[in-house]
Structure 1
């Protein structure tokens, strides 16, 4: 009899184990397989939220088939403690595992509304945009120049969104004065800026910021990033460059940044100036002269006068020998790398070629021909 009871118990146990194994396999398939979401959505995870609340929200929006499996699967994967606040785009038919990865990953928001202060050489604006999750594209809600325009109603209303994200995008070639003036007008930042940072030492980049972040703290982040970029580029520099310090390389990088907007030309332009320094020739570059006039406070807005080209100032490279005393703008990584790894050329001259780029020359005679072609292009355009 006991043998029969033991045999029956063993049979039941095996059936139960098989049932549990089948249930686990089914749950795993539910967790890792395609989900029921028919169209991509934007999932907002508020600060201080938890997986129970997120699971309920996802279930209500038709993104997951089981709150329980979602929570257990995340717990089994060891990811429940990694929940990040933010707004995350959830793809159509995303699995529960993929959703968990999205909300416990880097924490970088991938959808929702965003305010972006965009600092450019010729102007600054504030852009409010929102991601359309189904089409995965941003839709502009409002745009204005904080220096000359009042904030539109759409922007004021959008600022009430507690999940709103903020960004400051700094273009290559802007000056430190321009950056500070722009930051002063960003109503989502706080604090005073006691002095304009040293020219050249702010890294052009798109920075995610927090609402209410101190302006001085953001400027410090910009400086730390530029210091890192310069140190890395200096360590990987070419041999025999005519710079004694990283600071001199930064000055050259700022000149390269202002001289060309064509990425493919940066190393060639850098080679021209390096070649001139090696030969003891004056750099003779207009952007340095302009900086000596404006001190980086905006654009000149006109051509240089002959008297300005002849005036002896620390930044007039038609008069002084070598590099100017400081950078003339904040160069990007590519210009810094170009200054420290210039192309190997024999070029000593360049002039605009009418296409947005430049014509380079090894001799003065060749350069004069290029200049004549450029002046002919200018005259033709003026006559149209």
Structure 2
């Protein structure tokens, strides 16, 4: 009897050792699987779309349907055992090669969606902005067919002209986002940039409001792309505003011509009166003519301390500045007409 008991105890110990080894092996295998790259079909990174309300089991199936070559039941089991299965967020995701089950779940829980991007360029008009949004990949065209006025009303700015009100930058968005959401972010970005610039305005500026600063900044933006000339050009226009001279800037005339402008500004265009023709109307035009960037905004409120009232393009991207009409005419003859 005692020998039989001793023998039975050895069998029990061996059984428990075997079970322990199996558990350890299973744990090691599970740990390896969690960190190992998921097998995916050949090609670029996979795109995974999880609709709102999808169950954890449905998420696992969606991963496999996207091209991950694994057992959906195994993925679902991992989601459940992690305790984070209910934290998975809906959205559009990218599964790049080398993604592990652990990394995949972390991405889904954190909501690290695949983002697209659209760039709004300094100096663009609102018409160009809308065209860029219409071309943007997987951006929902909620504003399609709406007038500019309707778009601004949808953004909570009814009665405010759309031109120049959006800050030029690169904006990221998730698949299926609304173009109105991108515009709202750009609108608020310009609000912040304009407020910051206006708070830094020179004490003797003739500008009466932040809106006037935005209008002047848009003109500066269109007149030059050279950083070193912006403040000087803003200084010329500031001097003209102070003494009541016409601004006489071609970009405002071109803007007023709209789609009639064929790329060639003629003398008759300079005398064709529109609200934006600064050859026929004094002061600033009624609205901005484009989107100014940060540098143009700062130049408008902090112009260079200059006596210049004129400038002319040299033809190399720079400008020649003059304080008298005679000097300006000589510069025009030299740089525009090729006369010595």
Range that drifts further, 36-45 or 100-109: 100-109
Matched, 1:284 2:248: yes
What is the CA–CA distance in structure 2 between the aligned matches of 1:3 and 1:338, rounded to whole Å? 94
Contact 2:113 2:174 in 1 (8 A): no
Question: Cα gap change, 1:226/1:34 in structure 2, threshold over 3 Å: closer, same or farther?
Answer: same
Contact 1:74 1:100 in 2 (8 A): yes
Q: Alpha-carbon deviation of 1:55?
A: 3.1
Contact 1:347 1:360 in 2 (8 A): no
What is the CA–CA distance in structure 2 between the aligned matches of 1:347 and 1:51, rounded to whole Å? 69
Aligned to 1:98: 103
State the TM-score, normalized to the length of structure 1.
0.59
Work out which structure has the larger RCO, using CA pairs closer than 8 Å and 6 or more positions apart in sequence: 2
Partner of 1:351, secondary structure, is: strand
Contact 1:39 1:92 in 2 (8 A): no
- Post-superposition Cα deviations, 1:261-280, rounded to whole Å, max 9, x if no partner, equal 45675455434434554566
- Post-superposition Cα deviations, 1:313-333, rounded to whole Å, max 9, x if no partner, equal 653434555422322234345
Contact 2:231 2:300 in 1 (8 A): yes
Aligned to 2:44: 40
Within 5 A, what are the aligned runs for 1:72-151?
74=79, 76=82, 78=84, 80-86=86-92, 88-105=93-110, 108-110=113-115
Range that drifts further, 222-231 or 306-315: 306-315
What is the CA–CA distance in structure 1 between the aligned matches of 2:286 and 2:254, rounded to whole Å? 14
Q: Alpha-carbon deviation of 1:229?
A: 3.8
Aligned to 2:57: 52
Query: RMSD of the TM alignment (CA)?
Result: 5.0
Structure 1 unaligned segments of length 5 or more: list them. 112-166, 380-384
Partner of 1:298, secondary structure, is: helix
- Out of 214, 234, 250, the residue aligned to residue 270 of structure 1 is 234
Aligned residues: 316
Q: Alpha-carbon deviation of 1:372?
A: 3.5
Question: Cα gap change, 1:283/1:195 in structure 2, threshold over 3 Å: closer, same or farther?
Answer: same
Aligned to 1:252: 216
Question: Cα gap change, 1:69/1:347 in structure 2, threshold over 3 Å: closer, same or farther?
Answer: farther
Contact 1:84 1:107 in 2 (8 A): no
- Post-superposition Cα deviations, 1:337-381, rounded to whole Å, max 9, x if no partner, equal 5434556777654333334x222435447655553343256x9xx
Question: Cα gap change, 1:50/1:337 in structure 2, threshold over 3 Å: closer, same or farther?
Answer: farther
- Out of 26, 30, 54, the residue aligned to residue 27 of structure 1 is 30
Specify which structure has the higher proportion of strand.
1
Structure 2 unaligned segments of length 5 or more: list them. 153-160
Q: Alpha-carbon deviation of 1:35?
A: 3.9
Question: Cα gap change, 1:303/1:193 in structure 2, threshold over 3 Å: closer, same or farther?
Answer: closer
